Amino acid sequence: MNIDKLLKPGKMAIVGAGEGEGFGGDTTRNAVAYMKEHTFYLVNPKWKTIFGRRAYPSLADLPEDIDLVVICTPAATVGHLIREAHKKGARAALVFASGYKETGTPEGEAAQTALCALCAELDMALMGPNCAGFVNYTEGIHAFAFLPSVRERKGKIGFVSQSGQLCYSTMESPVPSFSCLISAGNAAVTKIEDYIEFLLDDPDTKVIALYFEGIQDGGRFAACLKKAAGIGKPVVALKTGRSEKGERVAASHTGSLAGSDRFFDALFEKFGVIRVEDLEELIYTAQTLAVLPKLPAGKGIGSMNLSGGETGICADLGERNGIEYPDFTATTLTGLTAMLPPYATPANPLDMTATLSYDTERYAAALRCVMNDPGVDLVLVGYTLTQEITDPAIRYMADAMEIVRKEANAKPILILPFTGNTRNNDFRLRLEQMGVPILPPPQYAFPLLANVFRHIGHDSAAVDDRLPIFGGREKEAGGSVGAPVTLTEHETKTELAHWHIPVPAGGVAVCEEDAADLASRIGFPAVMKISSPDILHKSDVGGVAVGVTSPDGVREAYRRIMANVRNARPGAAIDGILVERLAPPGTEMIVGVKNDPRFGPAIMTGLGGVFVEVFRDTALRLAPVSAFEALEMIHSLKGAALLGGYRGKPPLDVDAFANLIADVSAMAAGMKEELIEMDLNPVFVCAHGVLVADAVMIKRGAGSASAAVLRTP
Amino acid sequence: MNIDKLLKPGKMAIVGAGEGEGFGGDTTRNAVAYMKEHTFYLVNPKWKTIFGRRAYPSLADLPEDIDLVVICTPAATVGHLIREAHKKGARAALVFASGYKETGTPEGEAAQTALCALCAELDMALMGPNCAGFVNYTEGIHAFAFLPSVRERKGKIGFVSQSGQLCYSTMESPVPSFSCLISAGNAAVTKIEDYIEFLLDDPDTKVIALYFEGIQDGGRFAACLKKAAGIGKPVVALKTGRSEKGERVAASHTGSLAGSDRFFDALFEKFGVIRVEDLEELIYTAQTLAVLPKLPAGKGIGSMNLSGGETGICADLGERNGIEYPDFTATTLTGLTAMLPPYATPANPLDMTATLSYDTERYAAALRCVMNDPGVDLVLVGYTLTQEITDPAIRYMADAMEIVRKEANAKPILILPFTGNTRNNDFRLRLEQMGVPILPPPQYAFPLLANVFRHIGHDSAAVDDRLPIFGGREKEAGGSVGAPVTLTEHETKTELAHWHIPVPAGGVAVCEEDAADLASRIGFPAVMKISSPDILHKSDVGGVAVGVTSPDGVREAYRRIMANVRNARPGAAIDGILVERLAPPGTEMIVGVKNDPRFGPAIMTGLGGVFVEVFRDTALRLAPVSAFEALEMIHSLKGAALLGGYRGKPPLDVDAFANLIADVSAMAAGMKEELIEMDLNPVFVCAHGVLVADAVMIKRGAGSASAAVLRTP
């Protein structure tokens, strides 16, 4: 959908304009205060003039055509006004009114459906309903229903918010500057994805900041993020609904499908989206990326502070957030030693003492010295810029930064204040104009830096981005793909073997002799397990024998297992007994697949047992993943150390395990129409190679493997 | 040390006063601007008048005696001036000059030693050297060498900082208000502990806020914290040096002994001290506690927001920080349903929509309704107070809060903004005056609330606070307590048995027959281990046999172990072979003791193996601990779920394990003079009872157990 008429209208009309309180008055006030006189019309039959400007009785009375109608009147009037506007050439509308789907009532739902149908009929874009409007700062369009305080806000952040209140709070923060600020409301016609596409194409938008509670079309949303990663435009996202209660709030607030929060993490991970936890972090992350002339080339921070206390805070919170301060080279240390007072100990993070900060030349020299260190990719200047300038240090420091910023090969400089609610506005603007952002206080700043580093470390080329997204619940609900069926272990493993995933040799025997014969062919020791679509937990019914070493042993085990199972579960349908070569012992890992209706299949891994169940130490990505991504998943586990040769054991074959994860993810993507979920538990990871020891799959349609098939590895 | 003359001087003199830049000028400017005319004298032989006030050529020329001399001149002049001031009656001095111990030079060290000796000789208190001074806002004393911007700062926080720079940043934050603000500098004579004692006794100080890098006297510091807990005056502490790099910074910055950071955690835990991670958190935590008329009675938050977005952030960040929003009762829900628009869904956290916030009466009714819920202990009002008031909601909301705050049984109200760098000053002051603090943005606010809840949950009565602190390295260095000796397992366990800690029956056999006899007496199956002061890892040398079931088996194992050990370690001294009854299997836990020269013994516990080594899932407290504290330690482990009946196993005897921890801690406290460290690994925790399966102790002086002693359980 082309929404240029909506966000960049040549002419717009405000219907319900006025001088009073409320949507009409405030929208009019904003337009009159900030827009060029000839770019908008005011419409209200009650007044001849509004704020001294001519008011027209109706849209039909306007002297020329318009692109956008801004409707400040109640829901009941909206349909008629849209038709009128369409006759006046409008191809876009903005509706502030509530009373639609967000009410959760059948009437509201019906009103929204009718609104969508009308816009489809007239081919019109529509912002809202139940929104606060937008401001396009680049074009000087103010179609916004809250009164902001006066400050310069034009900048490089394109911001889209599902919440009007958070949109207003963002606007009123003194920190961010925007290309475009959009309160999407119910996003009934024009979707969040449409706005993102607009901002991706907008040359004045350098960073996209999003607040949302849920999305409607996983495939389109993913495509937007993929495009953003491709063109290198950072996306910063605040998505609520991580917690159970938060998910409930999100679902009741916008009616959009919330849930599956971890799938969003996986999607963001795939495309290098920076996920943040609250509005303050969203604002600062976006503004930092908007102000920096270029992203740092790597993760090496050179930290320069005026005191030991500040340096200690940087050291502690850096470590807590995985920030590394590379040791300075001998050259850097020698340079700093020559500049600093004799009692200072040069190191990174650096306590320079306050002495240099009152001398532009010397401060510039120190900055340059740290910046020239080959391990340093950005300089983090610890300094609390106060509201009033009582201490003149910042004058000298800002002058020094201005000099150094202009030099060839200058690296990014960022300022870290140690308290918030400060920052002198003149210096803030001056620093931002020279490309030096002021960060929030440390407990926001260090996670922000860690996120930026993760973002720059994101390697689009190493990611498998062929996401096989389902495309909405409709398809699932269609029923053409059949009812869910749980496959037996043998059926599941046979399916796995088709996809070249290593499973033990084995097959299902239907009598003692068959079993003994099978075991002899595949080799001893054998493991035997009851094969029944009705029995999931085989050990619980005495359905397992491990380490059987002879044909006679196999016969005996066959009889025993059958007797146990018939005794414990007399009604169960029994295929026979699965006979396999016993797997060599290895470290137990698990690999799981879950197919989400909006995101398609995701793949999960973790260490087996308590690590997953108690410590919840798992990694999840959207399928398919490359072997590179699979390795990232493995290394993101807290328990990853156990794979690297723990307690003198040889290191395990992590590469083979990564390949297995990638293969399973490719299988999941390939089977996206029928696979519902799959659990490989455990997978044995050995010093050489890997093997799936147990597995179960739930899919639509029957298992493809006949019980009589003999798998060979 | 009584430091009233220092912090509450009747008269003070500023030596080196002037109108220029630097310490002398700025201190003079502060005194002239903020102090009563008759409370201070200016001394400088160069001037007749300073800022129109009379300047005296020397201290001797002053017309009357003084209490405090504030020395703005360089280090070389200090000794002479202190003697002169003493002659004029001064019993306290303040020295801004640097050039002392902080330089790390022998000259600086000598200067500081001389300064201390002089103050001891004259019995004078001294702030600094190398400090920024102090302001006593209650008494109107300004002896401070940085120029603050103009704002009202009088309040209830007593703040002590080792860093002058952080002291200044704290002062310049618009948030906090102080009874007293102290930059302690090198704290050469008057110590951090002295200042804390002053603030504990000061009725105008409601909260003590500390920034420090290390302390000098663990025992006195602990006594201060114990007193604070006893009188219910909250202490909020920012201590840098958590990380390895941070520790290095702290050590080089003040020269105070840093290190052992986890001991500080244990000390803070013991006395309910709130530890924070940066200055912003310190400021806000202290101000919140200072403003609240009373602490909440419990941890139940009623969260009220104007939008779904804000509510979602509260839900998500609440969960992440362990905050619980109790479900509202049916009465509360009915009440809210009647007030809210039909599309709102009452729940906790609550999205009230913005409708009520423009009507004082209705907003007050909603506040009251949430406040009256029996599960609610405090009301958290989500609202972003902007710098300029463009949206009038806060007028109605503040009026409503004012009404409700005055009602009987009002519960605490706190305001949570969603962005920072805002807050209209008039409303901030008005809200603070009615006892409603404004929190920082969510990612500071929720950890802050979690800390406050931990603080109010601290139960002084359930804590064993008889800390057996060593009292400094001097004692350890004295050597009177002997050189470190590693006890054998048998010696260690015999020591443990003396303290009634459950160990298996066993003894050391010196020949085959002895071993067989011993095993027969204590019962089979037996476990046998080589007993040698030279062999720590017994399995590595073939020195262990497990599950020996007969006297003949014992004889055979005896010969085998001896042969193995003589082969692997020919030179090792061998006591014999430890023969024990094999412990029944249980979940493996570890318990450790480490005796710190400044803090005394600390006790650690965790689950055995990878849980400690890879996940670092341990709990540490200062010894002795009560069984209550031991239970808290156990429940603080991430892996605690494994003890409660994991995977259908019976729940383990956690009470017995807590008793064992308490007993080991009592033993550690009792042996504080000789114990260096001890490791019980593993301790088997069973469904009924616990048993120490292996143990080693390092202490000063020889083991007390003869190898021939037979332990009985």
Q: Residue A708: its pLDDT value, please?
A: 52
Give the integer Cα–Cα distance in Å for A131 and A116. Answer: 15
Cis bond before residue A45 (omega within 30° of 0): no
Measured in degrees and rounded to the nearest 5, phi and psi for residue B473 equal -70, -20
Interface size between A and B, measured as CB pairs under 8 A: 309
Tell me: pLDDT of B357 over 80. Answer: yes
- Strand B154-161 versus strand B207-212 pairing type: parallel
Q: Identify which of A390, A441, A638 has the shortest CB distance to residue B278.
A: A441
DSSP 8-state class, residue A61: G
Is the Cβ–Cβ distance between B586 and B574 less than 8 Å?
Answer: no
**Strand, coil or helix: A160:** strand
Angle formed by the axes of helices B442-457 and B279-291, to 10°? 60
With CB atoms and an 8 Å threshold, state whether B317 touches A442.
Answer: no
pLDDT at B616: 82
Predicted pLDDT at A470: 64
Structure tokens given for A389:
């300038």
Band of pLDDT at residue B474, cut at 50, 70 and 90:
very low
Distance from CA of A556 to the nearest CA of B (A): 30
- The values of phi and psi at residue A685, to 5°, are -105, 120
Q: Which stretches of chain A drop beneath a pLDDT of 50?
A: 254-259, 471-480, 713
Q: What is the pLDDT of residue A472?
A: 42
Q: What span, in angstroms and rounded, lies between the C-alpha atoms of B80 and B86?
A: 10
Provide mean pLDDT across the span B594-612. 87
**What is the distance, to the nearest Å, from the Cα of residue B693 to the centroid of all Cα atoms in its chain?**
33
| Total Cβ atoms within 10 A of residue A523 | 10
Please give the structure tokens belonging to residue B318.
């609440």
Whether residue B272 is predicted with pLDDT greater than 70 in this model: the reply is yes
For residue B147, what are the contacts with CB-CB under 8 A and spacing of at least 6?
A390, A391, B26, B29, B30
Residue B321 has a CB neighbour count (10 Å cut-off) of 17
Task: Enumerate the CATH 3.40.50.720 domain ranges in chain B, comma separated.
Answer: 1-146
What is the C-alpha separation between B169 and B148, in angstroms, rounded?
Answer: 10
Q: Do A277 and B442 make contact, defined as CB atoms within 8 angstroms?
A: yes
Nearest CA in chain A to B282: A419
Determine whether the interchain pair B312/A246 forms a contact, defined as Cβ–Cβ distance below 8 Å: yes
Per-residue pLDDT tens digits for B526-577: 999 999 988 988 999 999 999 999 999 999 999 999 999 999 999 899 999 9
Q: At what angle do helices A308-320 and A442-457 cross, to 10 degrees?
A: 50
Q: Label residue B510 by pLDDT band (50, 70, 90).
A: very high
What is the distance between the alpha carbons of residues A488 and A580, in angstroms, rounded to a whole number?
A: 14
Longest dimension (CA), chain B: 104
Q: Do A165 and B306 touch (CB under 8 A)?
A: yes
Give span(s): CATH 3.40.50.261, chain B. 148-291+453-467, 301-434
SS3 letters across A91-142: CEEEECCCCCHHHCCHHHHHHHHHHHHHHHHHCCEEECCCCCEEEECCCCEE
Instruction: Give the span between the Cα atoms of A137 and A139, in whole angstroms.
Output: 5
Q: What DSSP string runs through B110-162?
A: HHHHHHHHHHHHHT-EEE-SS--EEEETTTTEEEESS-PPS---EEEEEEEES
Question: What is the average pLDDT across B322-337?
Answer: 96
Span B694-706, pLDDT tens digits: 999 999 876 555 5
- The nearest CA of chain B is from the CA of A146 a distance in Å of 8
* ipTM of the complex, rounded to two decimals: 0.92
What CA–CA distance (Å, rounded) separates A69 from A55? 15
Retrieve residue A352's tokens.
């320079």
Is the pLDDT assigned to residue B289 strictly greater than 60? yes
**d(CA A154, nearest CA chain B) in Å:** 19
d(CA B668, CA B620): 14
A441, A245, A312: which is closest to B444 by C-alpha? A441
β-strand A40-43 against A12-15: which pairing, if any? parallel
- What is the structure's pLDDT at A247? 73
pLDDT of residue A258: 39
The answer to whether the CB of A312 falls within 8 A of the CB of A475 is no
Mean per-residue pLDDT for B276-281? 97
Q: Are A419 and A258 in contact, with CB atoms under 8 Å apart?
A: no
pLDDT at B646: 73
CATH class of residue range A470-503+584-713: alpha beta
- Please report the pLDDT score of residue A596 as a whole number: 85
Does the beta-carbon distance from A279 to B441 stay under 8 Å? yes
**Residue B47 structure tokens:** 């001037």
Beta strand B133-136 with B178-183: parallel, antiparallel or unpaired? antiparallel
Using only C-alpha atoms, chain A has a radius of gyration, in whole angstroms, of: 32
Task: With beta carbons under 8 A apart, name residues in chain B contacting A279.
Answer: 313, 418-419, 441-442
Cα separation, A110 vs A115, in Å, equals 9
CA distance A618 to A612: 6
**CATH class label, A505-581:** alpha beta
Question: A350 φ, ψ to 5°?
Answer: -105, 125
Instruction: Answer whether A595's CB lies under 8 Å from A601's CB.
Output: yes
Residues in chain A within 8 Å Cβ distance of B243 = 315-316, 318-320
Closest chain B CA to residue A100: B343
Answer whether A390 sits within 8 Å of B254, measured CB to CB: no
Tokens for A455, please give them.
Answer: 């973002």
B93 vs chain A: nearest CA distance in angstroms? Answer: 24
Token pair of A111 as six digits:
């009103």
Q: Is B320–A277 a contact, with Cβ atoms under 8 angstroms apart? A: yes
- Closest CA of chain B from A606, distance in Å: 14
Between CA A118 and CA A125, with CA A122 as vertex, the angle to 5 degrees is: 85
Query: CATH 3.30.1490.20 residue ranges in chain B?
Result: 505-581
CA–CA dist B466, B463 (Å, integer)? 9
For residue B441, what is the nearest residue in chain A, using CA coordinates?
A: A280
How far away is chain A from the Cα of B401, in angstroms, using its nearest Cα?
21
- What pLDDT, in 10s, does the model give residues B621-667? 999 999 999 999 999 998 888 888 777 778 899 999 999 999 999 99
CATH level 2 (architecture), domain A1-146: 3-Layer(aba) Sandwich (3.40)
Q: pLDDT at residue B520 above 80?
A: yes
State yes or no: pLDDT of B479 exceeds 60: no
Q: Is the pTM of this model over 0.90?
A: yes
CATH code at B148-291+453-467: 3.40.50.261
- Residue from B504, B490, B462 nearest B662 by CA: B462
Residues of chain B with CATH 3.30.470.20: 470-503+584-713
* DSSP secondary structure letter of residue A277: S
**DSSP character for B438?**
B
Whether A249 sits inside 8 A of B315 (CB atoms) is yes
On the 0-12 / 13-18 / 19+ scale of CB atoms within 10 A, A363 is buried
Beta-carbon count within 10 A of B248 CB: 19
Mean pLDDT of chain B: 92
CATH superfamily of A301-434: Succinyl-CoA synthetase domains (3.40.50.261)
Please, how many CA atoms are within 13 Å of residue A93, restricted to the half-sphere of its CB? 35
The shortest CB-CB distance from A149 to any of B280, B307, B386 is to B386
Nearest CA in chain B to A638: B615
- Three-state DSSP at A638 gives helix
- For A74, other C-beta atoms within 10 Å of its C-beta total 13
What pLDDT is stored for residue B134 in this prediction?
Answer: 98
**Location of structure tokens 């907008």:** A202
Distance between first and last Cα of chain B:
51
